[in-house]
Copies of this chain bind each other. A is one copy, B any other.
């Protein structure tokens, strides 16, 4: 059986015995999938059941600095607050770091800061693990390729594989059991007019984590059998839309894909419903705007919040309809 440790050995090779320098720092953006990652074929290596495609969120992401320290526990600071080593976040982080050091290797001081407002309800684990791998790379001067960074970030969180790049990113499915061919790559297109707006319904904990939710969907939802085909079709259509600067198709495919993902969850037993009453209210309002002629589309991840896709020219109309909308320009203003 392939393990995360085997992946690290395969990638780092002799570099595993290198000594850390004084300090490493890195930044990685958050990302929003336009064609979703939902379901793992390998839970240990976070290998996905399908490929996926995302857009990174520019300046919204995670800064991480890391340096070796004396002592026998890692010291983690998140947004200027110390993280308890025995918390689930602290333990998950140290377990991940253990992949890169011998049992008698160094402990680390890690300072990490999300530029994603906590209230926005955007996941930070993708940018967090991507930034951490990139900071480790700098700390040890491994000189990893982006592809290697992507594979290693994936071991921390599947969608982190996409957060080592900015812009549009394709996470390749791969076919090898060791997962070394399941990495993300940047797509060459830019889309300066693209805007991502976040409608925050709730910033509190979503309850069921995406890992058990994916598992339950795969194990119990009869609708999941269609998901790989849906993703295949949607990846083809959205890449064509990117090539032709066809915003309407981009939006339709992204919304249809997100709704299909939530539909597969609804078909699970017990049903998985991340939506809150405010989610449904916002969706109906958004669809009315679209019926009135505004080119706006929704995408949603494993939580109650809605990300809307629109074009720069429609910013005022969107802000009028959703005064609390937080607007992101993935390719800059």
B269 touches A266 (CB 8 A): no
Is A281 an interface position by the 8 A CB rule?
yes
Q: Which of A131-139, A165-173, A272-280, A313-321 contacts B (4 or more CB under 8 A)?
A: A272-280
- Nearest-CB residue, chain B, relative to A277: B277
Is A219 an interface position by the 8 A CB rule?
no
Contacts of A278 in B (CB 8 A): 277
Is A225 an interface position by the 8 A CB rule?
yes
- Nearest-CB residue, chain B, relative to A275: B280
Is A246 an interface position by the 8 A CB rule?
no
Copies of this chain assembled into the complex: 2
Complex formed: what's the CA distance from A40 to B85 in Å? 58
Number of residues of chain A lying within 8 A (CB) of chain B: 32
Cβ distance A141 to chain B, nearest Cβ, rounded Å? 48
Complex formed: what's the CA distance from A273 to B259 in Å? 10
Contacts of A275 in B (CB 8 A): 280
- Nearest-CB residue, chain B, relative to A233: B222
Complex formed: what's the CA distance from A230 to B222 in Å? 7
- Contact residue among B260, B276, B279 (Cβ-Cβ distance under 8 Å from A267): B260
Cβ distance A157 to chain B, nearest Cβ, rounded Å? 26
- Nearest-CB residue, chain B, relative to A256: B269
A267-296 CB contact bits vs B (8 Å, 1 = yes)?
Answer: 101110101111111011001001000000
B287 touches A283 (CB 8 A): no
Is A229 an interface position by the 8 A CB rule?
yes
Complex formed: what's the CA distance from A260 to B225 in Å? 13
B270 touches A287 (CB 8 A): yes
Is A87 an interface position by the 8 A CB rule?
no
Complex formed: what's the CA distance from A287 to B264 in Å? 18
Is A151 an interface position by the 8 A CB rule?
no
Cβ distance A267 to chain B, nearest Cβ, rounded Å? 5
**6 more CB-based (< 8 A) A-B contacts, given A259-B266, A276-B280:** A225-B226, A255-B271, A260-B266, A270-B290, A271-B287, A277-B281
